[in-house]
A = this chain, B = another copy of it.
């Protein structure tokens, strides 16, 4: 029997699960399907970390479900609904520990400075719960992202607003012309399994080994660096030009994902824009430990340590700098939060689409809407943004009622490319040589670097690359769309990938596949031409472009990337269905606790479940047609859900998540009743539909009756299942209908 794993996660989607999962389980009873709930919530992961210790009572212990899923994804039967979870910061972890302690879990405190072996062990257990630890375990495959037909059609009929673009727009993308990662990249394909080491060699020939990594034959290893002196020269040029042309200065990086390199590139922008500040107050800034890499907010916080006159002098200098320098692009002009306040506020994959949506404009310090320079230092990806920005300036804003769709097949598996480079990013301690040496002492890659430059190496696994090519071809055949590999023949890494593509392609029947290899900017040009003509195209990209394009195109097409399907077809054959690009929405939980109104839209879960059902059908040997019937009817139900706009509203008293689930259930029952392929199912759900339709008003009233009052779910990180289910399933009428299926 096929099994779908539904993940138990955190915050809003976890609350929604209390209402949605019973529906999914009830409706799928008609088929041979098992739906398991596996707990990978932050609290669940914490408890699991201590379940082999004596801190917990036996009845509190739970298995390590993440470890289980980590094994499952390596088996062909994996079929996982992965809802958004918390990537915990340290403060969040501590809050979760405190909550569990208050619930009677006798967990130790988090030891900031562990002294004993025991404390070190405790810290190690907790540290395994910090940051983005779920995705790296589950993403044992590449990425297949696209809009479902229903979502795309809905957007064409009900287009979202894209601001028009003036022919005279002065907005443009600025990128480095030399000295960036793009220019300096070197790349090799490993010839036989070996262990490589990263070495820094100083001017006197002293060798320091920075890291060692096992690699396999066929893996692609890159090394590159960014020349920070050239980066700062570049910033100065852009800032001066923005001033001359009186446009806003904006900087778009990815300091979240590229957490080692990009904060430093961000900090350099502060060092250049505010250079006078460092000249005048360098001593004080050092005293208080201001780190530009953490943004101006860090200065504002730490400045409080200084005597008032010095604070005022610094404020005065900053005010003078703002007069001399171009106006800043603002994150929050009401509160004076600029682009440079926090490294994580302006994140390129979301922020550039936002500028595009806004007619190539940003917000200035006085709340004014104005043209801006979109600064993206490294050419590897900046140029494709330049291409789309210039395309819009010439061809005008996109029309969501006419444009095609751009799907993506992304090389993501096994920490592919830059996104797996954090542990291989180094800042050379002095001028010297960074090099990569294999076990036999061969120098594979070597770079002359200066102290402080950003050196970065990526490893892309052979098996991941070949799987990605396969996935692209399969998608092309399935979707009957051309595929474009976004690869630059003159970029070292891409050159190695192109070689593999040329090796792999002849292994497939390509008679029905239209395929191209084009540099990112050329691919963008080709894709946009089709896009504007209403034609559909599949972008086949590396990990970074996967991330960027799967925001860019959905946002242009349907206004948000949260409505995209995000599928990880596992290399081992199974699948992970990711939902909810926007995170786990703590603000929704706050609102629910305050007034029992949840505005989480489960559309992502609905859409993903269609795909999970289809996979279950395949995994079951294509025997149980009822799984397909369930998938198809759910898809039709979603269409009606969108068409009638039954998505949750923002305010208490309006339709919320629970009511939206009722409608989904009703439309699904209706579709099941109307299908002609299985009479038994039709008959069964005709009854269900009738009961739901008859009770629509009553059910909505039962839900509405709870609204406006606080909800008690017994915990934030670790809710009480009984309380939470009660809060999320308040309609006795609805529950009775569902539970009787």
Contacts and interface: CB of A to CB of B under 8 A. Distances in A.
Contacts of A499: 244
B522 A390 contact: yes
A272 to B, nearest CB: 15
Interface stretch (A172-180, A313-321, A327-335): A172-180
Contacts of A495: 241
A528 to B, nearest CB: 9
The copy count of this chain in the complex is: 2
Contact of A490 (B241, B489, B525, B526): B241
Nearest to A499: B244
Nearest to A182: B177
Contacts of A177: 178, 182-183, 379, 490
A395 interface: yes
Interface string A654-675: 0000000000000000000000
A699 to B, nearest CB: 53
A178 B174 contact: no
A168 B484 CA distance: 12
A395 B490 contact: no
A357 to B, nearest CB: 21
A366 interface: no
A237 interface: yes
A394 interface: yes
A529 interface: yes
B237 A394 contact: no
Nearest to A502: B244
Nearest to A168: B516
Contacts of A379: 177
A571 B120 CA distance: 81
Interface string A520-557: 01100110010000000000000000000000000000
Interface string A160-172: 0000000010001
Contacts of A525: 390-391, 394
Nearest to A391: B525
| Interface residues on chain A, size class | 20 to 34
Contacts of A244: 498-499
Given A183-B177, A183-B178, A394 B526 contact: yes
A395 to B, nearest CB: 7
A169 to B, nearest CB: 10
Interface string A374-406: 000001000000000011011100000000000
Interface in A483-535: 489-490, 495, 498-499, 516, 521-522, 525-526, 529
A174 B490 contact: yes
Interface string A199-224: 00000000000000000000000000
Interface in A126-175: 168, 172, 174
A244 B487 CA distance: 15
A393 B395 CA distance: 18
A241 B488 CA distance: 11
B241 A489 contact: yes
A550 B90 CA distance: 63
A178 B395 CA distance: 30
A203 B498 CA distance: 44
A490 B394 contact: no
Query: Which of A379, A395, A522 has most chain B Cβ within 10 Å?
Result: A522
Contacts of A178: 177-179, 183
Interface string A672-711: 0000000000000000000000000000000000000000
A172 B522 CA distance: 10
A283 B498 CA distance: 39
B490 A237 contact: yes
Interface in A247-301: none
Nearest to A241: B489
Contacts of A390: 521-522, 525
Contacts of A395: 529
Nearest to A522: B390
A240 to B, nearest CB: 9
A525 B495 CA distance: 28
Query: Which of A174, A245, A390 has most chain B Cβ within 10 Å?
Result: A390
A529 B395 CA distance: 8
Interface in A390-439: 390-391, 393-395
Contacts of A393: 522, 526
A275 B237 CA distance: 39
Nearest to A515: B168
A516 B168 CA distance: 8
A503 to B, nearest CB: 12
A49 B123 CA distance: 94
A394 B489 contact: no
Contacts of A183: 177-178
A394 B529 contact: yes
A398 to B, nearest CB: 15
A379 to B, nearest CB: 7
A115 to B, nearest CB: 50
Nearest to A373: B489
A583 to B, nearest CB: 36
A210 B489 CA distance: 41
A181 to B, nearest CB: 12
A395 B525 CA distance: 10
Contacts of A391: 525
Interface of A: 168, 172, 174, 177-179, 182-183, 237-238, 241, 244-245, 379, 390-391, 393-395, 489-490, 495, 498-499, 516, 521-522, 525-526, 529
Given A168-B516, A394-B525, 13 more contacts: A177-B178, A177-B182, A177-B379, A177-B490, A178-B183, A237-B490, A244-B498, A245-B489, A390-B521, A393-B522, A394-B526, A394-B529, A395-B529
Q: Which 6 A-B pairs have the closest CB atoms?
A: A178-B178, A178-B183, A394-B529, A394-B526, A241-B489, A390-B522
29 contacts: A168-B516, A172-B522, A174-B490, A177-B178, A177-B182, A177-B183, A177-B379, A177-B490, A178-B178, A178-B179, A178-B183, A237-B490, A238-B490, A241-B489, A241-B490, A241-B495, A244-B498, A244-B499, A245-B489, A390-B521, A390-B522, A390-B525, A391-B525, A393-B522, A393-B526, A394-B525, A394-B526, A394-B529, A395-B529
